[in-house]
Structure 1
Amino acid sequence: MAVRLVLALLCLPLSGLLPAQSVPVYSDSLQSGFADYSFGAPAPNFANPAPVQSGAASIAFTGNDFNAIGMANINVDYSTAAYPTIRLYVHGGASGGQQLRIYLQTTDAGGNSTPVADAELDSYISGGAIAANEWREVLVQITQPPLSYSGSYDRIDLQSDIAGTQPVLYVDSISLEPPSGGGGNLLFADGFEGGGIPPPPASALQIERDQMVGGLLGDRYTWRDHNDQPRVAVLAHNDGQVGPQGQRGGELWEYRYQTPGGTRIVRATNQFAGGFGYVVSHRAEGTTGIGGNDDSPLGHGFSGQFERVFEGRHHAILRFTQRYPRYSRTTANPPNTQYQVPVTIEWVIANGRDHPLWAMTWDLTGALPNAVPVDALEDDTRAPYGEMLFDGSANMAAHSVIAGVGWGDRYKFASTGNPVTFDSQWTWNQPNTVPYVKLWTTAIDATMGTVQTQTITQQDAGGYFGTDRWNSTSAAGLACTVFGNNYRMPCDFNWPYQSINYSLFGASSTNNTRLAWGANFGWLGQQSYFVHGSAFYGGPLANATASGWPRKSYATWVVLDRHSLDPVGAQVAELETVQNTVVTATIGSVNTNGPAGVARPDTVNYNPVGWNHVRGAWAFSASGNSLDANFALAGGSLIRPLIIVSNWAAAGFPSVVRFNGAVLALDVDYLPSLRPGSNELWITLGRNLNGAGNRLEILP
């Protein structure tokens, strides 16, 4: 790692020693001093409202007799050393197949432009051509064939390449990009550790630091899912910036994945709740005794710090820390007192896997002005919390109506009407072990949900009253008949996980996308509280208890994909498979315990043995940089599992990795990252595990 940092510093420009940043050329309008140099007719429309790849506008262009979109900043010379790549997105409208040619030009003091290089744009388009009804990324590597140009440029033309007329097309999100690796903000991590490690492939995890997206600065992560399709997450920094609606970051800000129609871009809503993955906690007594103070503020309203904990070849961890205000009970000693409680959130990105992992810890021992006394708080948890335009809409007004809501506590709940309203039919009668919550749309095939990395008996989840309707359906009668209500669905204040329950009114539907979590009051702060479903809350279970003090942690996968694929159900099924998997080792060992949560000094026993629920990974320890392990599944499948091997002392990757006797290819069949400071080898295994015999051998 040190070698990589030294090389990066040597590549920095001498003035200021700052890494080059992306230069936006077009984002809703021309940016960074670029002006319209288009020619021919009809002229392009730089304020086209739809379709858009990002933001609120794109460029609409009808090719005719070699007319062109022209963009120039004649006051700046952009060198290919500093900006060797032009990134843009193109949409073929209803037709596709349009022919464009890209020209680079330089402009003299008299305003005269001279072409320096040109090539067919198809050469650089993902998929090789402009496609109908979808956005495709275009990465123009200027110094590579067919342009093969090295030098400066200040003007970019996208010219219609036929004499006749072509159907309308659209262009969006144009930027100049710095080089990957040293000197730029695009990282292919682990490229310079030495030790005989080959450079990372193009399919490695890409990390673009300090990207301005939707009004917030963040880090962009691009990885491949289990179908080898690209996914992208932008995690907004939380160290003092203020977003368009007052957000202060520390959250998922944008997400991208592939559909048959192209890239779906999931943005934060244009409301203060927009963004996802921040904390919210409610006080059992609400605002009683605390005056006009908010007992449950949105966590992304508070600044904190972020840390790039791990930037590996195929894996990464980004950490957010902050202090979140909590108020003691009216009967506490002292009563109604504010404590600034430390919260740590970590996001884990794993190449080869679909869904990022979110993990959180509350530490009441580190609160200010002093540690929170036991039983002083009686609060719940609603994190991860937020709102995303998960159907890919450009704004809230355009978002599809929510077709359905589902969750899992001791039973699986699903609304069965479309769209969902308070009068929807529902089922809540299928036994369940893995906590989850989800929303979906059908006008556009999309869903968003969260799935816990532990069972509900291992980590309590869900809360409040209403569990008297477990193991029933709406056919048994109205579920909400109190406080003047009279509807089929459970009362809005009794949904075990908060989502759209406070956005539904009467028989009306909603397009609000709020998604959160839930737990009984006392989850945070009480020495002992009654878990979800206990008789104390009118539930069918005996009064079982859990502890809410002095630290609380859990982790969930954040799931975004097409609803028709049932990705939340698939992730739940995989965690069910985890619970029935036995791992053993004849060389090395299976880890039996580890940290109880992110940023925690205490440990817990893993359940099942070897399952690191904090990372969503299988945990082993190497012996002499070797491991010989087996996974025995009682049923189901483990899809491209994440494996963390501790006690890894080697400076490089294994010499050989075998699965069931077959040698695996580096960066193809297994995706490794070294985490030297922790002596860990992380591997996404490029195989699906089934049955009792899944032998993994790692040789030094």
Structure 2
Amino acid sequence: MGRIFAGILSAACCTLAAFVPPADAATRATATVNGSVVDQVTWTDADGRIRTVALKREGNGNAGHGGYAVQMTYRYLKNGVLTTMTVNPSDAGDGFGYFVGHERERRFSDGSNATIAGKIFRADDSPLGRGFPVTSRIVPTTANRVIIEYKLTYPKYGTVAPNGINPDTGEDSPPLGTSAALFKRYDLPVTITWYFQDGTSWPRIVTQVSLAPVPGPDRVSFDLRGPYGKMNFDARDAHINWVFWADRYRFQPNTAPLTRSTGWQWNRANTGARFVSLLASGFEMGLFEPTPYASSGIRDGYSEARGKTSATYNGGAGCPDQAQKLPCDWEWPYQSAQYELPYDNPLGTTSSEKMAWGSTPYYGTSLPSVYDGVQSVPFVGFPASKVIEYQVCLVLGQQLSWGLTNIVAARPPADYKCAAR
């Protein structure tokens, strides 16, 4: 597998380096796609082929809200003939690129564990960002780039006063009271900016979450799962064959298709970037952070499975909380297929193509470090700037051996081919 991987990587690097993109090709135009009025961005990728992303506008007669992608296209070779792949060919569906953040479950004085949103406010602790109004701005830039910015406010529920947190267990110490007067809804400004650039294949998506409405740390506590959504990236309804990801270690299933009974390995050191990808019927969608893991600005949640294999995790018995060989759903570092697989059939597959990012659920706290199941790592959950910022690049293409996103994320940063910021 190593020789195959190295050969593909070498060939891909050489092909991309030879291309010189034409000037002034990146454009933005108003269009109607899948029944929605959109800003359609067109640019020339690293292979000299046209790609597009249709970003839904707010208003303009559109149902619901905007600020996310409803369709994407790219060109690829099929039997030697250049062919267009249309991602989400006929239905906007959930779309992709909006923000979601899950609140951490808290410990209450009545002995219960629940989110503040659910227990106190009877509200969703992780609403889909596509359900909130956005304002948009076309950011001035150079001729070969298009930059579109979206702003929204996203609710997070927390305490009025800071509450203690046990650095060893990560639990509230003391437990939270149950009076509604102790809690408050904080509306956090969120900015999502898409970057497109000629000569690069992958759009860059930068997410900024402002903690400005929160007086200080240890009121709110949540994770970061945007960009989030579903896109029909294989233009069919085929089952998911493979899921790959990398954080401290690289994860891969042993067999395809993906089921809850699939064996796996999550113990090979990752020397490249963080990433997650899904593969179905010869096509792929993935996200990667455009920096090596050692320089990552994101911190992971806890997972007992990290650094292990299906043979060594829980003595080979699989998830102790669910009937599956896969790591427990909550232990996956990035949300994707784990909640889409059927729970009543251990050999059942899924064709649901959900893709999201992921992190520790302690953003908003003062914890100086977080434990990922292998080691504690330094952590800044409440920056002095009160802005949490991270960025990912979006990969779409034909499946290569062991994954296109896998290969891209293993390259040196100069070869990521992601739009510049």
Q: Which TM-score applies when normalising by structure 1?
A: 0.48
Question: Which of residues 308, 322, 329 in structure 2 aligns to 1:472?
Answer: 308
- For 1:521, give the aligned amino acid: P
Task: Label 1:471 to 1:315 Cα distance change in 2 as closer, same or farther (>3 A).
Answer: same
Task: Label 1:348 to 1:435 Cα distance change in 2 as closer, same or farther (>3 A).
Answer: same
**Correspondences of 1:485-496 after superposition (within 5 Å):** 485-496=322-333
Task: Label 1:265 to 1:642 Cα distance change in 2 as closer, same or farther (>3 A).
Answer: closer
Contact 2:203-2:418 at 8 Å conserved across structures: no
Partner of 1:306: 136
1:249 is displaced (CA, Å) by 1.6
1:417 is displaced (CA, Å) by 1.7
Of 492-501 and 428-437, deviating more is 428-437
1:311 is displaced (CA, Å) by 5.1
Q: Which runs of 5+ in 2 are unaligned?
A: 1-20, 106-114, 164-180
Kindly indicate whether residue 277 of structure 2 is the aligned counterpart of residue 438 of structure 1: yes
Task: Label 1:509 to 1:372 Cα distance change in 2 as closer, same or farther (>3 A).
Answer: farther
Kindly indicate whether residue 88 of structure 2 is the aligned counterpart of residue 267 of structure 1: yes
Partner of 1:536: none
Partner of 2:7: none
**Correspondences of 1:402-413 after superposition (within 5 Å):** 402-413=240-251
Task: Label 1:478 to 1:269 Cα distance change in 2 as closer, same or farther (>3 A).
Answer: farther
Max Rg structure = 1
Task: Label 1:532 to 1:445 Cα distance change in 2 as closer, same or farther (>3 A).
Answer: farther
Kindly indicate whether residue 338 of structure 2 is the aligned counterpart of residue 501 of structure 1: yes
Contact 2:137-2:148 at 8 Å conserved across structures: yes
Kindly indicate whether residue 382 of structure 2 is the aligned counterpart of residue 548 of structure 1: yes
1:570 is displaced (CA, Å) by 3.0
Partner of 1:225: 45
1:362 is displaced (CA, Å) by 0.7
- In 1, the alpha carbon distance for the partners of 2:160 and 2:104 equals 10
Contact 1:479-1:491 at 8 Å conserved across structures: no
Partner of 2:201: 354
Kindly indicate whether residue 162 of structure 2 is the aligned counterpart of residue 318 of structure 1: no
Task: Label 1:641 to 1:489 Cα distance change in 2 as closer, same or farther (>3 A).
Answer: closer
Contact 1:223-1:351 at 8 Å conserved across structures: yes
- Residue identity over aligned pairs, in percent, reads 27
- In 1, the alpha carbon distance for the partners of 2:266 and 2:234 equals 26
Contact 1:204-1:223 at 8 Å conserved across structures: no
Task: Label 1:319 to 1:374 Cα distance change in 2 as closer, same or farther (>3 A).
Answer: same
- For 1:437, give the aligned amino acid: V
What SS does structure 2 have at the residue aligned with 1:472? coil
**Correspondences of 1:129-168 after superposition (within 5 Å):** none
- In 1, the alpha carbon distance for the partners of 2:200 and 2:186 equals 38
**Correspondences of 1:95-110 after superposition (within 5 Å):** none
- In 2, the alpha carbon distance for the partners of 1:283 and 1:237 equals 28
Contact 1:414-1:426 at 8 Å conserved across structures: yes
Partner of 1:385: 228
1:372 is displaced (CA, Å) by 4.3
Partner of 1:526: 365
1:487 is displaced (CA, Å) by 2.2
Contact 1:462-1:497 at 8 Å conserved across structures: no
1:204 is displaced (CA, Å) by 3.2
Partner of 2:66: 249
Task: Label 1:239 to 1:374 Cα distance change in 2 as closer, same or farther (>3 A).
Answer: farther
1:312 is displaced (CA, Å) by 3.5
1:513 is displaced (CA, Å) by 0.6
1:215 is displaced (CA, Å) by 2.1
1:216 is displaced (CA, Å) by 1.8
Task: Label 1:406 to 1:356 Cα distance change in 2 as closer, same or farther (>3 A).
Answer: same
- In 1, the alpha carbon distance for the partners of 2:92 and 2:368 equals 34
- In 1, the alpha carbon distance for the partners of 2:256 and 2:299 equals 24
Contact 2:34-2:92 at 8 Å conserved across structures: no
Q: Deviations over 1:422-470 (max 9, x none)?
A: 10011112111421111101xx21010100123444334363332x333
Kindly indicate whether residue 415 of structure 2 is the aligned counterpart of residue 638 of structure 1: yes
Kindly indicate whether residue 254 of structure 2 is the aligned counterpart of residue 416 of structure 1: yes
Contact 2:244-2:277 at 8 Å conserved across structures: yes
- In 2, the alpha carbon distance for the partners of 1:638 and 1:384 equals 23
Task: Label 1:299 to 1:234 Cα distance change in 2 as closer, same or farther (>3 A).
Answer: same
Partner of 2:189: 342
What SS does structure 2 have at the residue aligned with 1:293? coil
Contact 1:250-1:320 at 8 Å conserved across structures: yes
Kindly indicate whether residue 397 of structure 2 is the aligned counterpart of residue 561 of structure 1: yes
Contact 1:349-1:356 at 8 Å conserved across structures: yes
Partner of 1:146: none
Contact 2:195-2:205 at 8 Å conserved across structures: yes
- In 1, the alpha carbon distance for the partners of 2:290 and 2:274 equals 8
Task: Label 1:510 to 1:305 Cα distance change in 2 as closer, same or farther (>3 A).
Answer: same
Contact 1:462-1:496 at 8 Å conserved across structures: no
- In 2, the alpha carbon distance for the partners of 1:323 and 1:291 equals 18
- In 2, the alpha carbon distance for the partners of 1:255 and 1:529 equals 40
- In 2, the alpha carbon distance for the partners of 1:202 and 1:542 equals 47
- In 1, the alpha carbon distance for the partners of 2:186 and 2:419 equals 37
- For 1:292, give the aligned amino acid: R
- Greater percentage in strand: 1
Partner of 1:425: 263
- For 1:267, give the aligned amino acid: N
Partner of 1:63: none
- In 1, the alpha carbon distance for the partners of 2:227 and 2:419 equals 22
Partner of 1:513: 353
Q: Which TM-score applies when normalising by structure 2?
A: 0.79
Q: Which runs of 5+ in 1 are unaligned?
A: 1-200, 394-398, 534-538, 579-636, 645-700
What SS does structure 1 have at the residue aligned with 2:400? helix
- In 2, the alpha carbon distance for the partners of 1:478 and 1:571 equals 32
1:363 is displaced (CA, Å) by 1.0
- In 1, the alpha carbon distance for the partners of 2:263 and 2:160 equals 40
What SS does structure 2 have at the residue aligned with 1:289? helix
| Larger RCO, structures 1/2 (Cα 8 Å, 6+ apart) | 2
- For 2:415, give the aligned amino acid: L
Contact 2:261-2:347 at 8 Å conserved across structures: yes
- In 2, the alpha carbon distance for the partners of 1:529 and 1:503 equals 34
Contact 1:310-1:318 at 8 Å conserved across structures: no
**Correspondences of 1:66-105 after superposition (within 5 Å):** none
- For 2:355, give the aligned amino acid: L
What SS does structure 1 have at the residue aligned with 2:291? coil
